[in-house]
Amino acid sequence: MSVCALTAVVGAESTGKTTLCRELADALPAVRVPEALRDFCDRHGRTPRVDEQAGIVAEQIARERAALAQAGARGLRWVVVDSAPLATALYSEQLFDDRGLLEAAIEHHRGYRATLLAGLDVPWQADGIQRDGPGPRADFHRRLVAALARAGITPLALPGDPDARRALALARLRAAQPGLHS
């Protein structure tokens, strides 16, 4: 069985993460792990309360494990994670002043083979109940960059328009993982 490269795509709201994950999954090919937080909001028609954050983190991790098994069974060498538990932990900090999930989320994040960071180049768009606006988006981006730096995790910054991001991400992932080309 081949080793899977678990890659997280992180960034603030409305930065094109989901689109990029879909495109990477098609191009590599890879199993894509959908964002548990987005699915929670869609299912419940609201954003989660502070007491629901840990369950969302656990769901995201369970989805990653299932995707790794699925990738192995299909002979795929890539798993692309749409956001990560770190994002939920940072949202919990930003919205509820709750830092209780942060340490474990950072430790989990260290297990990714690569972290791709979607920048703020994509214009903010309202997209259902998860979209807070350009100000909170910029604040979250600062928190995310700072948390990654404190943890010693160097993400691959993805500036530019969606086409440029996709091309850069694919080139860097393939170059960094020469044994993982499909």
pLDDT digits (tens, 9 = 90+) for 111-121: 999 999 998 98
Distance CA 122, CA 129 (A): 19
Report whether pLDDT(181) > 50: no
Counts for the chain of helices (H) and strands (E), in that order: 7, 5
Distance CA 24, CA 174 (A): 11
> Between these two residues, 33 and 124, which has the higher pLDDT value?
33
Distance CA 146, CA 173 (A): 23
Indicate the angle between helix axes 134-150 and 85-96, nearest 10 degrees: 120
Report whether pLDDT(177) > 80: no
pLDDT confidence band for 172 (50 / 70 / 90): confident
Q: Which two tokens stand for residue 58?
A: 């656990």
What φ, ψ does residue 77 adopt, rounded to 5°? Answer: -110, 5
Report whether pLDDT(64) > 70: yes
Report whether pLDDT(103) > 90: yes
pLDDT confidence band for 5 (50 / 70 / 90): confident
pLDDT confidence band for 29 (50 / 70 / 90): very high
Nearest to 21 by CA among 176, 165, 172: 165
